[in-house]
Structure 1
């Protein structure tokens, strides 16, 4: 019988120590403790989800900026190559089609004359011959 009493006493002391340490760490009310733990878990989950979403948005933004930059750079390179090809073609046409001693016209002057409206051109070029006008 003495053994039973001693084991009960030791067990009750152990339970009391456990309860005291739990109440010291988590508070007095065990239901409140469970509610706080669940709320904390929920809030931490929301914070982690918000951080993940913010990271995804930032990553998408950076990728978008980089792809736009690369596309713009490629377009500029293609335009430069196209302009270089046009310059080479114009030089070849000048070499082949222009007689020696003829005055050269610059591409800028040619493009300027082509871009002028019909009203700004000389009157002879603006008036087309008609059957009653010779």
Structure 2
């Protein structure tokens, strides 16, 4: 019988310690404890959802900025290529028909400022002579 009393005493002390630690951690009322647990879970869920939404918005913003930057850069490159093609066509149009495009060196170095000045001058193209011809006569059978 002594063993039964000792085991009952040890179990009751253990149960009491568990109840004291639970009441210290969670409060006295068990229904209030359940309500607080559910409320805490709900609040933590809202906070996590808000963080996920903020991350998605920030990611979308960064992607939008990067795509705009890449599109603008591609557009500028296309404009530069177009301008380069137009400049090359203008240089080809300015060359006389008999030259190959490489002028013969005269021995004196040419400064870049002089080249830029010559490139900026307007070039007048000689107009083609008008031929005195009669308008075509329609064909009749």
- Residue matched to 1:52: 52
| Aligned equivalents of 2:87, 2:36: Cα separation in 1 | 76
- Residue matched to 2:122: 106
Mapping of residues 21-60 of structure 1, within 5 Å: 21-60=21-60
| Count of residues in Structure 1 that have an aligned counterpart in Structure 2 | 101
- Residue matched to 2:2: 2
Cα displacement string for residues 58-114 of structure 1 (whole angstroms, at most 9, x for unaligned residues):
0110111011011101100110110110111011112146xxxxxxx727x9xxxxx
Higher-helix-fraction structure: 1
Which structure has more relative contact order (CA 8 Å, sep 6+)? It is: 2
Q: Where in structure 1 are there 5+ consecutive unaligned residues? A: 98-104, 110-134
Over aligned residues, Cα RMSD in angstroms?
1.8
Cα displacement string for residues 36-70 of structure 1 (whole angstroms, at most 9, x for unaligned residues):
11110111011011101100110110111011011
Moved over 2 A (4+): none
The reply to whether residue 16 of structure 1 matches residue 32 of structure 2 is no
Partner-residue secondary structure (3-state), 2:28 = coil
| Aligned equivalents of 1:95, 1:78: Cα separation in 2 | 26
- Residue matched to 1:61: 61
Give TM-score scaled by structure 2 length.
0.66
| Aligned equivalents of 2:83, 2:28: Cα separation in 1 | 82
